[in-house]
Structure 1
Amino acid sequence: MKKNLLIIMLGIFYTGIQAQTASWTVVYNIFQAKCASCHSGSSPSASLDLSAASGTVYTSIINKTPVNPAAASRGDKVVFPGDGHRSFLLRKCQNGLDSDNGIIPAEGNVMPDDGTTLSKIEIETIRQWILYGAKQTGVAVDTALIGKYYRGKKRDYTTVLAAPAAGKGFQIHYGPIMLAPKTEVENFLKFDPHFSDSMEVIRLDLRINKKTSHHFIIYKFAPGDETNFANGLRPLNNKPGLSSMENAWQTPGDAVLPAGTAYRWAKNAFLDLNLHCFNTDPDSVVMTDARVNIYTQPYGTASAVMYSELPGNNGFAVPNGNVDVKIIKEQTWPKLTNMYIWRLSSHTHKYGVDYDIYKRKSTGGKDTTQLFEGFYNFTYSFNQGFYDWEDPAVRTFNPLYSINPKDGLYAEAHYKNNGPAPVTVGYTTSDEMMLFFINYTVKMPTTSGLNNVPYENS
């Protein structure tokens, strides 16, 4: 009995040690066990020695250009922190785990090719380590969660989306990330499109799984601000203060911009990708992701630039007691002369019961012209008689709807809190929010000529 108890205690102690092992150490040990037989010696395979000391190996793979010409020409690094689809090492060894991240014949064989195999758990550990920034120190990867996913109860909610045809655009793949049972997370991920020149974006086609995703937003860093943020997934409290929203989704969708309009992304633009996701299952580990196709055209083609904003009221509380609470937001753009609205949508959390947007009077307050009715269905084709906070309506104006930006808009949201306690503004779905999405131009688009009107928001 004492012997069995000692074994159990040692097992618990060992598990605790394992849980604290730095993620890079776990990955390095995989390389030592499965890769070093070929990647060692005076002439290691691919000139990559994975048998050396930990620090030496780390330096030799992070942001280093692979010797394979095909991989180098597509912009790969041996390990590209935060981006598994640009990490040649992962693409070589992932062996079908990610169906659209394989190698082409010019990039050689799948590794290892000496009869050794990497388990799915080992490949996933490498993939998650890269996604979380491929850091040399710290515990970024939950190896126990990975083990539970591949050995136990799991749900795969990853998406499928064919990439744009060559020359038409590119695809961004966010994730996949793994969620423990009954958890909710929101992260940011810095992404470098590696444009060869400035581009215009005319369509953004997103796939997320509604069973696990609350929203996906593409932000664009202010020039130079991206240097203040590391590669890899970052928690919600590490978001940039200087960025512009490009597009937002609360459900999968294909945003095809009106003819003659486009977003403008400079050659050196960096994006910041924001995914809010959750796992409501009490037992299973969930894997989820986001894929978005970005369709582009040459810079200077569009006649009007599309802008996006996310105005809101961040200073309110909703008492419990199931009573109606009205919160308003009056938004103006005093520095603009013209505004032409393309789309409007709303955003609350679970206690939101209605959301309406009106033109605002020049003196303040609600005008009689209503532009958005929250009771409409997602496609804004009929009034369904209730507000669906998880899939709120999106109203598209065709032609674009002109308003006086100095008068602006008046938004009015209603809440009923039937929970056990008051709620305040916060980022989880147990908190509340009052935001609205707006896409607009500052001139009516035509079929030719670029809009070079300077833009400065209020």
Structure 2
Amino acid sequence: MNYYLKAVCFALCTSVCASLFAQQTTYEKVYQLLQSSCAFSGCHKGSPGAGMLNLSGSMQQVYEQLVGVAPTNPAAKDKGYQRITPGYPERSYVLHKLAHTGWDAAFGVSQPEGSRMPPSPFPALEPAEIELMRQWVLYGARMDEKEVNDSLLTAYYAGQGKKRISIPPAPQEGEGFQIHYGPFFLPPNGEMEVFKKQTLELEEEVEINRIEVFFNDESHHFIIYKMRASAQGNYREGLRDVSESETAMFDNRILAAWQRPNNIELPTGTAYFWKTGNVMDLNYHFINFNSDSILAGDVYINVYVQPKGTAEQEMHSQLIPIDALELLLGGGELGKNLIIPNNGAPVVFTDEFALPFPNVTWHVWLLSTHTHRTGIDYDIYLRNPDGSKGDQLFEGFYNFDYTFNQGYYDWEHPPIRYFNPLLPVNMSLPQGGLIHEATYLNTTDDTLYWGNSALDEMMLFFIQYTEAPLSTHIGTKAEDAWLLTLTPNPARNESIIRYRLPVTAPVSLQLHDVQGRIVFQQHLGMIAEGEQQYRLPTASLAKGLYILRMQMGQQLRSRKLMVVD
């Protein structure tokens, strides 16, 4: 009987303790880690502590000494670091002090910034322990939330995760800057959509003429929004789940969107205008299709600038969802009319968008579309004065580069159409506007509705435009004399490289995977000037993203290539 009671008590105690541990906030675990690793005599125990930082106090006392507090080290302070900067691991001095080469090479301290923590001969923290700290900071360094799954981090660093994408080279000094967003950790078969406020710390207004992004193949989309000044106080620092950001589409102005890694280079005479005090909202939606590996998601954003005053027009962007006109006119609900029955038959949804203001013309540069998995076509037309469809501007069956009709709509990599010269479109009711029409084939077990999950559906198009015409034709840039395209892209068995040489030149090519490894290379020798092509074999390549680098004389050009099954 005594044995039975002891066993019951032990089981009950274990269950209660496990339950209590499960309820620990992320900060509690961070606090315990700092207590055990750093709060000892001669380091950060007692007052004042090394660097005037005492980590042996209560949870509240330690939090108040860490979060939002400038370090005493002059070199770290000059970099704008705080001991912990909520939402910004790369601006958090403590993380740089804890870092070592076994964790993340992007972190660490230079000699003027001091030595690592804990100091030698004490052992460095385990990579999963430092990652717990980083994730706490990335989620906003909150005191009272359990946001980080530390067992997932432990498993990832124990070898149960996919390798993170390689860090791409940042723009050269004076060319621009790089923003890193992540990492985020997803369990097998997991899905995540997050937002994050991003202050830019700009010293003056800048003109952006190019944005290049790099992210995981498993991504669903990545969007950069510009937060309206009146809305910045509505959203906290750090990662926010999409459920905390349902009004973001209306509180923000979209800047640019990607469904696959791509380089957006704006036409001559245009730019995105970023001002001091601007705050971006970064939105990333990705899915782990692996059934046995943890996925670490990252986004790297290379932002390129040009001298202020170079652009004559600002490039504007809009996401136009179904029911947008009803919302604009003060009624309706986002996506309420998108109801897709599971009857196994194609269903067509047609919606119009125009502005209830007179004399509005958009000079359109780019059009693209977005659905989820049951989308099988998406077309865009001019709207006639009587509300009927006019000339077709966008055909969803085109390939990603909009160079030929491939006979089907690729919802994961929808086409992008550019207009050169910019296309003037009357956007005012009742004479003008656009009509977008999407077709769905729902073979699932359920009726589908508008929603953020990949298992829901969406219907929207993306448009970029200027509000006035350019005084000069977009023209062909000098570097375009060295034309380089890939078709088809995505590719299965092969992709045809088409390139143009203005002069006879030696040509060679290399194909790199996302880790930077060369998977194919070929020296083509001296090639005569003019239009040329090369058939690139891809059947033996694993599906995923690759970078083609073509050396044509002194010119080096690169293009992204997606290989699919």
Q: TM-score range by the shorter chain?
A: over 0.9
Q: CA deviation at 1:12?
A: 4.4
Q: CA deviation at 1:5?
A: 7.6
User: Which of these residues, 95, 98, 111, is aligned with residue 117 of structure 2?
Assistant: 111
Q: Is the 8 A contact 2:46 2:55 kept in 1?
A: no
User: Which of these residues, 94, 98, 112, is aligned with residue 89 of structure 1?
Assistant: 94
Q: Establish whether residue 225 from structure 1 lines up as the match of residue 255 from structure 2.
A: no
Q: State the distance in 1 between where 2:164 and 2:18 align.
A: 29
Q: State the distance in 2 between where 1:68 and 1:280 align.
A: 44
Letter in 2 for 1:76: Y
Find the counterpart in structure 2 of residue 318 from structure 1.
340
SS at match of 1:438: strand
Q: Is the 8 A contact 1:304 1:446 kept in 2?
A: no
Q: Is the 8 A contact 1:156 1:288 kept in 2?
A: no
Q: Is the 8 A contact 2:100 2:107 kept in 1?
A: no
User: Could you report, residue by residue, the CA deviation over 1:48-92 in whole angstroms, capped at 9, with x for unpaired residues?
Assistant: 211222111101111111222222222211111111111111122
Find the counterpart in structure 1 of residue 388 from structure 2.
365
User: Which of these residues, 361, 368, 374, is aligned with residue 338 of structure 1?
Assistant: 361
Q: Establish whether residue 243 from structure 1 lines up as the match of residue 252 from structure 2.
A: yes
User: Could you report, residue by residue, the CA deviation over 1:260-295 in whole angstroms, capped at 9, with x for unpaired residues?
Assistant: 111112211111110111112223221111111112
User: Which of these residues, 33, 51, 54, is aligned with residue 56 of structure 2?
Assistant: 51
Q: CA deviation at 1:42?
A: 3.9
User: Could you report, residue by residue, the CA deviation over 1:333-372 in whole angstroms, capped at 9, with x for unpaired residues?
Assistant: 34353221111100000000001111111221210x2211
User: Which of these residues, 14, 18, 27, is aligned with residue 15 of structure 1?
Assistant: 18
Q: CA deviation at 1:29?
A: 0.8
Q: CA deviation at 1:110?
A: 2.4
Q: State the distance in 1 between where 2:74 and 2:174 align.
A: 21
Q: Establish whether residue 143 from structure 1 lines up as the match of residue 161 from structure 2.
A: no
Q: CA deviation at 1:145?
A: 1.6
Q: CA deviation at 1:228?
A: 1.8
Q: Is the 8 A contact 2:344 2:442 kept in 1?
A: yes
Q: State the distance in 1 between where 2:14 and 2:157 align.
A: 21
Q: Establish whether residue 415 from structure 1 lines up as the match of residue 437 from structure 2.
A: no
Q: CA deviation at 1:235?
A: 1.4
Q: How is 1:347-386 mapped onto 2 (pairs within 5 angstroms)?
A: 347-367=370-390, 369-386=391-408
Q: Establish whether residue 98 from structure 1 lines up as the match of residue 98 from structure 2.
A: no
SS at match of 1:156: coil
Q: State the distance in 2 between where 1:360 and 1:236 align.
A: 33
Question: Structure 2 vs 1, CA of residues 6 and 71 (structure 1 numbering), >3 Å: closer, same or farther?
Answer: same
Letter in 2 for 1:328: T
Find the counterpart in structure 2 of residue 27 from structure 1.
30
Q: How is 1:52-451 mapped onto 2 (pairs within 5 angstroms)?
A: 52-96=57-101, 97-116=103-122, 117-151=124-158, 153-211=160-218, 213-239=219-245, 240=248, 241-313=250-322, 314=335, 315-335=337-357, 337-367=360-390, 369-406=391-428, 407-446=432-471
Q: State the distance in 1 between where 2:33 and 2:257 align.
A: 39
Q: CA deviation at 1:93?
A: 1.0
TM superposition outliers: structure 1 runs of 4+ over 6 Å: 3-6
SS at match of 2:350: strand
Q: State the distance in 2 between where 1:42 and 1:312 align.
A: 57
Letter in 2 for 1:445: L
Q: CA deviation at 1:399?
A: 2.0
Structure 2 unmatched ranges of 5 or more: 323-334, 474-565
Question: Structure 2 vs 1, CA of residues 201 and 59 (structure 1 numbering), >3 Å: closer, same or farther?
Answer: same
Question: Structure 2 vs 1, CA of residues 16 and 260 (structure 1 numbering), >3 Å: closer, same or farther?
Answer: same
Q: CA deviation at 1:15?
A: 2.9
Find the counterpart in structure 2 of residue 454 from structure 1.
none
Q: Is the 8 A contact 1:312 1:329 kept in 2?
A: no
Structure 1 unmatched ranges of 5 or more: 449-458
- Tell me the percent identity: 39
Letter in 2 for 1:30: L
Letter in 1 for 2:345: V
Q: CA deviation at 1:167?
A: 2.5
Q: State the distance in 1 between where 2:294 and 2:264 align.
A: 31
Q: Specify the structure having the higher radius of gyration (Cα).
A: 2
User: Could you report, residue by residue, the CA deviation over 1:11-46 in whole angstroms, capped at 9, with x for unpaired residues?
Assistant: 444333222111111001111111122123344222
Q: State the distance in 2 between where 1:300 and 1:238 align.
A: 38
Q: CA deviation at 1:244?
A: 0.3
Q: State the distance in 2 between where 1:238 and 1:391 align.
A: 27
Q: Is the 8 A contact 1:356 1:413 kept in 2?
A: yes
Letter in 1 for 2:354: T
Q: CA deviation at 1:447?
A: 7.0
Q: State the distance in 1 between where 2:129 and 2:165 align.
A: 19
Q: Is the 8 A contact 1:93 1:110 kept in 2?
A: yes
Q: State the distance in 2 between where 1:247 and 1:198 align.
A: 18
Q: State the distance in 2 between where 1:102 and 1:398 align.
A: 46
Q: State the distance in 2 between where 1:376 and 1:19 align.
A: 51
Q: CA deviation at 1:446?
A: 4.3
Q: State the distance in 2 between where 1:376 and 1:103 align.
A: 50
Q: CA deviation at 1:10?
A: 4.6
Quote the RMSD (CA, aligned, Å): 2.0
